[in-house]
Amino acid sequence: MELYQSTIHELHDKIKEGKTTATEITKAVLQRIDTVEGKVHSYIRVMKDEALAAAAATDKEITKGNIKLLSGIPIALKDIVCTKGITTTCGSYILHNFVPPYDATVVEKLRAAGAIFVGKANMDEFAMGSSTETSYFGPTRNPWDLECIPGGSSGGSAAAVAADECVASIGSDTGGSIRQPAALCGIVGMKPTYGRVSRFGLIAFASSLDQIGPFTKDVEDCAIMMNVLAGYDPKESTSVNVEVPDYRQFVGRDIKGWKVGIPKEYFVEGIDPEVKAAIEEAIKTMEKCGAKSVEISLPHTQYCLAVYYIIAPAEASSNLARYDGVKYGFRAPAAELLDMYKKTRMQGFGAEVKRRIMIGTYALSAGYYDAYYKKASQVRALIKRDFEEAFKKCDVILTPTTPTPAFKIGEKTDNPLQMYLSDIFTISANLAGIPGISVLCGFTKIGLPVGAQFLAGHFQEGKLIQVASVFEKEAQSEKRRPKL
């Protein structure tokens, strides 16, 4: 096995045993990027010089016996988290020249744990999309089929892990933007509980929904990444001061006697037959592990998509008001100030971002606020209550991550409503603020990955790692790699 194909825990052991170095690992990953990046386009920016310098410094620390949790591990960062002195674009022309003066908290934590940053990953513009096709810098392609999308908005982060262009990566999840691309790229992706991981330095899309989380090659690596990322941050107003366990202790624990909830509302007309078959097999796998499947109901599921596409655009229209050409980023030349505002936003934002700003501004307008945003917020509370009631009857919930496998690039770009349906099974977790994880549960006949999603109660990421690791081991999904 090549170094770039290894997991975090495998590389950590090799470094401890003196079988490899941070520099050797980093060079192997950078060589892999040179080989396949032209096909996949996972990155907006590859940080070759910075990565090699960091690896050399890490090796010096290792020789002194200072081996940290992520020492020498090449990590990709979604280009929505601020990196001091390095451009952070959000996949948008309006920020193509923005250089942050500070690091996001997650960047500080990863660096303190010894991580080597190899690049800023491609993404849908301002995280608005489900396919990584709205990026100003061009689409990312799915490593399993280069004609297909990798999912979104964190498609670059997911594709980089699947293509072995990094060992793990960071994404953000507003309505499924970690779990959905993880499923479509055949890897592990976790959205933590809202407030579990600091959002300080995450450029906001929808502030009450956004959450940062990891992409990894297996569940144990997910636990390692969560050990680094999770925790209270006084700099971030929505960060929750709740004790963080050692997530690795949950890996491989028994789940005998657990009740796995199967929500009847998630097996709807329109779900791809191969996805449905894979999830039905996943339910059988859970029963082989000693768990019992129980049917549950989440009655307000039918409203999730409508609620999300009022709340998220409304918050986006507020958050994106700051991009006016005055403070930072792109500025369009104009004779008058108002003209400059208009031209900057017209030229700087892409079509999907403009669409969501207009939807959000309309929903927040004086005559429609009560009918749209206020009503959506009330239904959101009911959705959250559905989950609270469901978790009284089961330990975790199992659903499909996506209704279909990866679709062709360009297939849905002219039909925004069809694109929005890609997130139909993931949105509810963001509205309720609960954690979710997607793991590989099989492949379609033509070799595209299918993901299973597990959901748990607030701050129960340990439960998710426990059930996902047992599932991963028992399912033993065929060990395939993309043929790049």
Residues marked as catalytic: 78, 153, 177
What is the maximum alpha-carbon separation in the chain?
A: 71
- Torsion (CA) 427, 430, 435, 440 in degrees, nearest 10: 30
The phi-psi region of residue 164 (left if phi > 0; otherwise alpha if psi is between -120 and 50; otherwise beta) is: left
Element of type H or E holding 442: strand 436-443
- Measured in whole angstroms, how far is the alpha carbon of residue 417 from the centre of its chain? 21
- Torsion (CA) 282, 283, 289, 294 in degrees, nearest 10: 160
> Within 10 A of 253 (CB to CB), how many other CB atoms are there?
13
Q: Helices H, strands E: what count in the chain?
A: 15, 11
Q: Which two tokens stand for residue 271?
A: 């779900």
The letter for the amino acid at 411 is E
CA-nearest of 155, 151, 167 to 117 is 167
Name the DSSP letter for residue 406.
P
Asked whether 123 and 153 are in contact (CB, 8 A), the reply is yes
CA 135, CA 212: separation in Å to the nearest integer?
Answer: 19
Apex CA 92: angle with CA 87 and CA 96, to 5°? 35
User: In a 3-state reduction of DSSP, which class is residue 214?
Assistant: strand
Q: Which two tokens stand for residue 393?
A: 């009857």
Burial of 48 (0-12, 13-18, 19+ CB in 10 A): middle
Name the DSSP letter for residue 365.
S
CA 418, CA 124: separation in Å to the nearest integer?
Answer: 16
> Within 10 A of 89 (CB to CB), how many other CB atoms are there?
25
Sheet holding 43-46, edge to edge: 43-46, 116-121, 74-78, 168-172, 212-216, 188-191, 436-443, 449-455, 396-400, 259-263, 292-296
